[in-house]
Amino acid sequence: GSKSGVIGQTEIDYEEGTWDPVPRGASGSSGSWNYSFTGKYTKIGNTVTVTAYGYISNKGSWSGNAILDGLPFPVGLQNSNASIGMYPSAAVDAAMRTCTTAHNDSHCTFRKGSKLDAIEQWTDWVTGYYLTLTVTYFVA
């Protein structure tokens, strides 16, 4: 009808834009850290889908869990998993990999293992590998 974007008398909460994905370790410091990542997002109601693409050319002085920081909206009450393309890990194994979000976080944490029960460490990552990532999560 004439009210595009409106269902009944309620407007659809729709937004799209770009975000700045930041791959890093959960602790330590940036040092000579260098990366090139781009990201886009779409938010419909309380559902956000983000995509990220890029590579790390220098890991800097980070350590701890491998995370992708800078999600455009904090994660709501429900945790989510991601779909990952090529993954910058030095490990050559048959373990599955994903990136999980947790309540109130602004990042996703990389997990590995046949049950996705182990957290990927920043030291496991190698430079020069490309990462593609799609995460759908819920906001409050």
Give the pLDDT confidence score for residue 1 in this predicted structure.
41
Give the pLDDT confidence score for residue 7 in this predicted structure.
59
Q: How far is CA 4 from CA 11, 13, 107, in A?
A: 9, 12, 34
pLDDT at 2 over 80: no
DSSP 53-114: EEEEEE-TEEEEEEEEE--SS---SS-EEEEE-S--BS--SS--EEEEE-TT-SEEEEEEST
Residues 6+ apart with CB under 8 A from 7: none
Query: Quick one: DSSP state of residue 124?
Result: G
SS3 content of the chain, % helix, strand, coil (to 5): 0, 55, 40
- φ and ψ at 27, to 5 degrees? -140, 175
Model confidence at 6, pLDDT cuts 50, 70, 90, reads low
The more confidently predicted of residues 67 and 113 is 67
Q: Tens digits of per-residue pLDDT, 72-109?
A: 999 987 778 777 776 777 666 666 788 888 888 899 99
The more confidently predicted of residues 100 and 40 is 40
pLDDT at 5 over 70: no
Give the pLDDT confidence score for residue 9 in this predicted structure.
64
Give the pLDDT confidence score for residue 92 in this predicted structure.
62
Task: Tell me how far apart the alpha carbons of residues 139 and 4 are, in angstroms, rounded to a whole number.
Answer: 25
Question: Which of 63-67, 76-80, 94-98, 127-131 is most confident?
Answer: 63-67
Model confidence at 3, pLDDT cuts 50, 70, 90, reads very low
pLDDT at 36 over 90: yes
pTM for this entry: 0.81
Q: Is residue 20 a contact partner of residue 70, using CB atoms and an 8 Å limit? A: yes
